[in-house]
Amino acid sequence: MLLSVNSASTLPLFEQLVTGVRGQIMSGELVSGERLPAARTLAQSLDVNVHTVLRAYQILRDEGFIDLRRGRGAIVADRAKNYAKVAVLVDTLVVEAKKLELTPNALGALIRAAWE
Amino acid sequence: MLLSVNSASTLPLFEQLVTGVRGQIMSGELVSGERLPAARTLAQSLDVNVHTVLRAYQILRDEGFIDLRRGRGAIVADRAKNYAKVAVLVDTLVVEAKKLELTPNALGALIRAAWE
DNA sequence: CGATTGCTCTAGTGCAAATAGAACAATAGA
DNA sequence: TCTATTGTTCTATTTGCACTAGAGCAATCG
């Protein structure tokens, strides 16, 4: 479990944690059943507040990536998803968006608009 | 020029304006050379502050969608882009993301990660 | 010149994000 | 059962951003 946060970044700390863990799950570095560090432990080793870690964990639970229960901890859920297809689509979309000189924000707005 | 803002929305007002204008330009409703209402005028008709409109206009300029200069106003730029391809990609990506039960946020994070 | 339009500066208000400490409650394991 | 572990809840403070507001400045156009 290699994780890091950058307090100088404009991205919120909890968001960095979510992105990091989610990425590792989607890429297969973290597998179903594996247990994440306890919130207090991770908080201490990353030098952030416990609430920040817990917030990240709770978001990951809401997104279905982990099982989170008190006394037990955070365990990577079994989603059995294949993310390869969406990863390819993301890559090609980013390429096209760059050709059109769109910003990441603009692309995000397009996706939100297409979500409904 | 049909624009509206919803002050009850969680999205910032300036963001709503940016998304609205950008969408109309990308869809062809607003064409190159066309002039947007003066900031003071639009602010009054939407009942928002002038600064809010100006902020939106400045973002649209940064993204290359409009020409914005004092004394002249805001004029739709000539990007001569064809957004059809990216629109299709966005749609198919959203479909796949939904199949995987990803959230819009998670998808946004993936795109940001793929941007570099 | 005079009107229009965006730009800059300063300032204040309200709200949500982020951080933080402390006590509580479920779970696991000895 | 007892105890340590772990997430949960509550309260509080700080920080940053969105939004509003007013005033004056600077470029442009007719």
Question: Cβ of B93 and A111 within 8 Å?
Answer: yes
Q: What percent of chain A has pLDDT over 70?
A: 99
Strand C within 7 Å of which CB atoms in A 83-112? none
Task: Return the pLDDT at A1.
Answer: 65
Task: Return the pLDDT at A9.
Answer: 79
pLDDT in tens, chain B (116 residues): 789 999 888 899 999 999 999 999 999 999 999 999 999 999 999 999 999 999 999 999 999 999 999 999 999 999 878 999 999 999 999 999 999 999 998 999 999 999 98
Q: What is the pLDDT of residues A62-94, one digit of tens each?
A: 999 999 999 999 999 998 788 999 999 999 999
Prediction pTM value: 0.90
Strand spans (E) along A1-112: 66-69, 73-76
In chain B, how long is the greatest CA-to-CA distance? 50
Alpha-carbon separation of residue B27 from B23, B84, B87 (angstroms): 6, 9, 10
Q: For residues A44 and B105, what is the distance between their CA atoms, to the nearest angstrom? A: 27
Name beta bridge partners: A74: A68
DSSP reduced 3-state for B57: helix
Question: Cβ of A111 and B109 within 8 Å?
Answer: no
- Residue whose structure tokens are 């960095």: A16
Q: For residues B41 and B27, what is the distance between their CA atoms, to the nearest angstrom? A: 24
